[in-house]
A = this chain, B = another copy of it.
Amino acid sequence: MVNVGIIGATGYAGAELVRLLKNHKDAQIQWVGSRSYADQPYSSVYQNMYKILDAPCVDAEDHDTLLKLAEDVDVIFTATPQGFLGSLLKEDLLEKCRFIDLSADYRIKDVATYEKWYKITHQSPELIKEAVYGLCEINRADIKNARILANPGCYTTCSILSAYPLVKEGLIDASTLIIDAKSGTSGAGRGAKVPNLFCEVNENVKAYGVASHRHTPEIEEQLGYAAGKEITVSFTPHLIPINRGILVTAYASVKPGTTKEQIKAAYEKHYAGEHFIRLLPEGICPETRWVETSNYVDINFKLDERTGRVIIMAALDNLVKGAAGQALQNMNIMFGLPEDEGLENAPVFP
């Protein structure tokens, strides 16, 4: 039994962690942390959890309290704002338990890049090096022994997984990669802000963070490893009126003479054995509704011979494979459990 604590359990990603862990037969939630709702029953914040998790939230956000809380658990998930874990994590905590961080604090190896895009001074840069980037399908071996697991961003997971085999196999010109992503609104968090009100999001679609979104350097770094060189990509996120789901449509010029069979083979080479990646039959486009509530990433592509480009499409649930589900998958790997434990349920539709 893996004993678990969650800091930031009352955000959407934290709440999804709670939901998934409640369905996990080898993990046990020991405490749920929330500063905003400290001492309130968890189920008074998320009424779906009534009679399922009624324990009060704890305020776990100072070092000493956390040090104590860490004694009861094997792993702590932090679904917290950027900079939180970076400012709190020390060796003493790492001696008590392992950390799976859903923020960006340990995702980017180059501190200067992190500080430039996030406009935060990193408080524990010495720990970045040992942190493992938790994109399970690509970094599985390193994840097993991680003490600090940097869980990838939602856009990032979808973007990297969809382009990775083609970059790795050199079938596309990585410098032409353009990623146009569409996300459900849970990705914007549960903060009370006018732009996220129902009437502002409903019946609307917009781009945001154009040429400046923080997931860009994370995508560039990881795909750069695959390419074996530094690359820059165009990445544009869009907000659409759905609760969950990310769809990525990506465009890249293929190397001259590339066939669709070669592209298909590249995907199969890297993903054929991956439980959570579904390569769809030819002609079927990924749609967010088919992966909702599950840990799947659905991927497909179309080679457009008129333009010499491949159009890559991928869909995932931003709260599951894009956040809590991947965090759980990482936990399973870290603790030697079957990788799909707690993540076996079929996607919900409609």
Residue A199, interface by CB 8 Å: yes
The number of residues on chain A lying at the interface, defined by a beta carbon within 8 Å of a beta carbon of chain B, is 79
Chain A 306-350 interface 0/1 with B at a Cβ cutoff of 8 Å (1 = within): 110101010100000000000000000000000000001111111
User: Which of B50, B178, B196, B289 is close to A204, meaning CB atoms less than 8 Å apart?
Assistant: B289
Does A85 belong to the interface (CB within 8 Å)?
no
**Stoichiometry, copies per complex:** 4
Chain B residues near A298: list those with CB within 8 A. Answer: 47, 50
Q: Are A203 and B203 in contact (CB under 8 A)?
A: yes
**Is A9 part of the binding interface, using a Cβ–Cβ cutoff of 8 Å?**
no
In the bound complex, do residue A178 and residue B251 qualify as a contact, i.e. CB atoms below 8 Å apart?
A: yes
Contacts of A251 in B (CB 8 A): 178, 180, 234, 251
Contact: A302 with B204, CB < 8 Å?
Answer: no
Please state if A204 and B288 are interface contacts (CB–CB under 8 Å). yes
B211 x A302 contact (CB < 8 A): yes
26 contacts between A and B (CB under 8 A): A12-B350, A47-B298, A48-B347, A50-B290, A51-B278, A178-B251, A180-B251, A182-B182, A182-B238, A190-B194, A190-B199, A196-B197, A197-B197, A198-B202, A200-B289, A203-B242, A203-B243, A204-B288, A205-B242, A205-B287, A208-B285, A211-B302, A232-B306, A234-B251, A238-B249, A240-B240
